[in-house]
């Protein structure tokens, strides 16, 4: 299991030229210093706040997505569905996949189909097993 430093090195080698690379590295460095129990739900706003970045812009979104979707795989993307009563449910990725296939999301509790579900589903992130291992390495 690589250390956080090795993870950052790996990231720089592969994505160093990407316009968001610097931000991605800053996120990795910051996440390395925070306790586990404060990394259970990281939203784009969380990343903005922990970095002291001025706003959630395309650059920041790309920086986060690189960490989640590239081979570095430092973050796991999760999904939160918030219904009209403000009740929150974490969605399994397969549920969203089904929703896209069927054109509607099955409400986790009522089982009713929700056509305009896309605007009620929000991403958040948690450290991947790889990043957790790297943090433990230190």
> How far is residue 29's CA from residue 75's CA, in Å, rounded to a whole number?
13
Give bridge partners of residue 123 from the DSSP assignment: 79
CB of 57 to other proteins, least distance (A): 25
**Contacts to other proteins by CB under 8 A:** 35, 37-38, 40-41, 80, 84, 88, 90, 98, 102, 104, 106-116
Complex with other proteins: residue 1 or 87, whichever CB lies closer: 87
CB of 86 to other proteins, least distance (A): 10
Which CA distances in Å does 32 have to 5, 8, 41, 74, 90?
10, 11, 15, 11, 25
Give bridge partners of residue 113 from the DSSP assignment: 106
Complex with other proteins: residue 58 or 85, whichever CB lies closer: 85
CB of 44 to other proteins, least distance (A): 16
CB of 122 to other proteins, least distance (A): 11
Give yes or no for a contact between 30 and 75, defined as CB atoms under 8 angstroms apart. Answer: no
Complex with other proteins: residue 101 or 138, whichever CB lies closer: 101
Complex with other proteins: residue 112 or 136, whichever CB lies closer: 112
Give yes or no for a contact between 29 and 8, defined as CB atoms under 8 angstroms apart. Answer: yes
CB of 24 to other proteins, least distance (A): 24
Q: Beta-strand (E) ranges in 27-132?
A: 75-82, 88-91, 105-106, 113-114, 121-127
Complex with other proteins: residue 72 or 95, whichever CB lies closer: 95
Which residue shows structure tokens 């920041």? 60
């Amino acid at each position: 299991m690589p250390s956080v430093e090795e993870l950052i090195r790996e990231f720089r080698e592969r994505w160093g030229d990407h316009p968001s690379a610097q931000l991605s590295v800053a996120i990795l460095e910051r996440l390395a210093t925070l306790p586990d129990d404060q990394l259970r739900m990281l939203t784009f706003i969380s990343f903005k706040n922990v970095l002291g970045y001025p706003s959630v812009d395309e650059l920041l979104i790309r920086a986060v997505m690189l960490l989640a979707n590239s081979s570095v795989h430092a973050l796991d993307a999760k999904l939160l569905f918030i219904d009209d009563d403000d009740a929150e449910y974490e969605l399994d990725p397969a549920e969203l996949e089904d929703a896209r296939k069927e054109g509607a999301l099955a409400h986790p509790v009522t089982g009713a189909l929700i056509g305009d579900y896309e605007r009620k589903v929000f991403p958040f992130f948690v450290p991947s097993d790889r990043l957790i291992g790297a943090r433990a390495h230190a």
